[in-house]
Amino acid sequence: MLKRKALTESISSNLHAFLKKIGARSESFELPFKGIVNLMKAGASFHVAAMTADPRIVTKQERQSLLDRLASIHPALVHNLEEEVVDPYHPHSKGCNTPASS
């Protein structure tokens, strides 16, 4: 029971961080996790990716909470998680102002 309570508290704190970062509605927080469960039930081949390798976007606590949540669905999800870093697009960088050649 204690582990479930800790997971619930962790999810709740991540929900608030999620809403603050992207301005989404609270109901949208669960959608990716429901999608993962549905893909697994359907026997689909997929990988979960998250911007968890970028400390500018995700704190260590938020990353751990995500790992715990994925592990609660299936431990293999944590092992196969594709962690990514945000690579900002800079439209005014050198070379970006030239039109593409036809």
- Does a structural domain hold residue 93? no
Domain region containing 12:
2-23+33-83
CB atoms within 10 A of CB 102: 3
- Does a structural domain hold residue 48? yes
Q: Would you say 47 and 80 are in contact if contact means Cβ atoms under 8 Å apart?
A: yes
The total of structural domains in the chain comes to 1
- Does a structural domain hold residue 97? no
- Does a structural domain hold residue 16? yes
* Among candidate residues 101, 102, 94, 46, the one with its CA nearest the CA of residue 73: 46
- Does a structural domain hold residue 101? no
- Does a structural domain hold residue 89? no
- Does a structural domain hold residue 96? no
Regions of the chain short of the pLDDT cut 50: 1-13, 101-102
- Does a structural domain hold residue 57? yes
| Whole-number pLDDT of residue 77 | 95
> What is the model's pTM?
0.65
CA distances to 15, 22, 70, 87 from 28, rounded to whole Å, are 10, 11, 17, 24
